[in-house]
């Protein structure tokens, strides 16, 4: 196969992948979405120590590894906070809403990722 044909075949493969990736605008994994949209505040490991987490931010991004704090929230509630943001959930408006950026499936993926970070589940 010539180089041009190989290139063309891989371009087609990429387009097919993009079209068929389930429910996702960019087709990113939960980890990739976290790296792209959350780390600047919550930090690379979710400890609430991202580059934006300075005194001047006005609210402390939650430590998502905190099992006690996250254990008080149901998965639905964590999803609501991510989708609708702090302002709509009696939290600081500095936690942005992501419902127009991420699909429901991507938000559920982030909830699962946060459960991995806190190594916790909802404790009624
Ligand atoms: C601009 C900074 C910023 C970004 C970006 C951000 N957050 Fe937040 N987040 C916050 C702040 C600040 C709070 C705490 C609000 C409060 O305490 O009132 C928070 C709170 C939360 C909470 C509530 C946790 C709890 O224990 O109550 C969750 C869950 C959360 N963020 C997830 C995410 C996810 C997932 C993303 C990426 C899609 C994200 N955040 C992006 C600033 C941010």
CATH of domain 28-118: 1.10.760.10
Question: Ligand 1: residues within 6 Å at CB?
Answer: 37-38, 40-42, 52, 59, 61-62, 69-70, 78, 81-82, 86, 91-92, 94-96, 98, 110, 114
Task: Say whether pLDDT at 117 is over 60.
Answer: yes
Q: The pTM is what?
A: 0.85
Lowest mean pLDDT among 22-26, 35-39, 61-65: 22-26
pLDDT confidence tier of residue 5, bands split at 50, 70 and 90: confident
Relative to the CA of 111, which ligand 1 atom is closest?
35
Residue to probe by mutation, ligand 1, list 62, 66, 110, 122, most atoms within 8 Å of CB:
62
Task: Say whether pLDDT at 41 is over 90.
Answer: yes
Look at residue 20 in the predicted model and tell me its pLDDT. 47
Please provide the DSSP assignment of 29-75 as one string. -HHHHHHHHTHHHH-TTSSS--TT-SGGGSSPPP-TT-HHHHHTS-H
């Amino acid at each position: 196969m010539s180089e041009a044909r190989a290139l063309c075949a891989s371009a087609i493969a990429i387009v097919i992948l993009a079209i068929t990736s389930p429910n996702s605008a960019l087709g990113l994994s939960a980890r990739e979405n976290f790296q792209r949209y959350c780390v600047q505040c919550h930090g690379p490991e979710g400890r609430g120590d991202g580059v934006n987490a300075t005194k001047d931010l006005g609210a402390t991004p939650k430590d998502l590894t905190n099992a006690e704090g996250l254990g008080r929230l149901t998965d639905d509630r964590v999803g609501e906070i991510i989708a609708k943001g702090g302002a709509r959930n009696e939290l600081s408006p500095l936690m942005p809403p992501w419902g127009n950026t991420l699909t429901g499936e991507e938000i559920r993926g982030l909830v699962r990722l946060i459960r991995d970070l806190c190594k916790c589940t909802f404790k009624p």
